[in-house]
Amino acid sequence: MDRREARVTMDRPRFAQGLTFDGYKRQMTRNRERFEENERRVELRPDDVAAFQQLPRPLHVLVLAEDWCGDVIANLPSSAGWRRRAGSSTSASSCATRTTT
């Protein structure tokens, strides 16, 4: 396969099709309680929050996540923490998910 064929372009319209963080949480079918507990435990240093607040333009983050993945359950809540504390006008996030049975 030609490497160029394997690329997927992430443009604004495609990014906009993703779920918001809250939309991702609403559709979770596994590990939501653990995920939300980790979200409640997020502690951010004031200087880290200030760094995000001082960004010159919105930060767009693409997250590929599955609710069965332990790394997602452990680490994705921290991204919500800095996003919420820095202000929603400062950053936006999109979660792409594919539910597997």
The reply to whether 21 falls in a domain is: yes
For residues 45 and 20, give the distance between their C-alpha atoms in angstroms, rounded to a whole number.
24
The reply to whether 6 falls in a domain is: no
Tell me: pLDDT of 92 over 50. no
> What percent of the chain shows pLDDT beyond 70?
79
The reply to whether 3 falls in a domain is: no
pTM (2 decimals)?
Answer: 0.72
Question: pLDDT tens digit string along 34-66?
Answer: 999 999 998 888 998 888 888 888 777 888 889
For the chain, how big is the Rg over CA atoms in Å?
A: 15
- Domain span holding position 84: 11-96
The reply to whether 29 falls in a domain is: yes
Q: What is the mean pLDDT of the chain?
A: 79
**Strand partners of residue 84:** none
The reply to whether 90 falls in a domain is: yes
Task: Identify the CATH number of the domain in which residue 50 sits.
Answer: 3.40.30.10
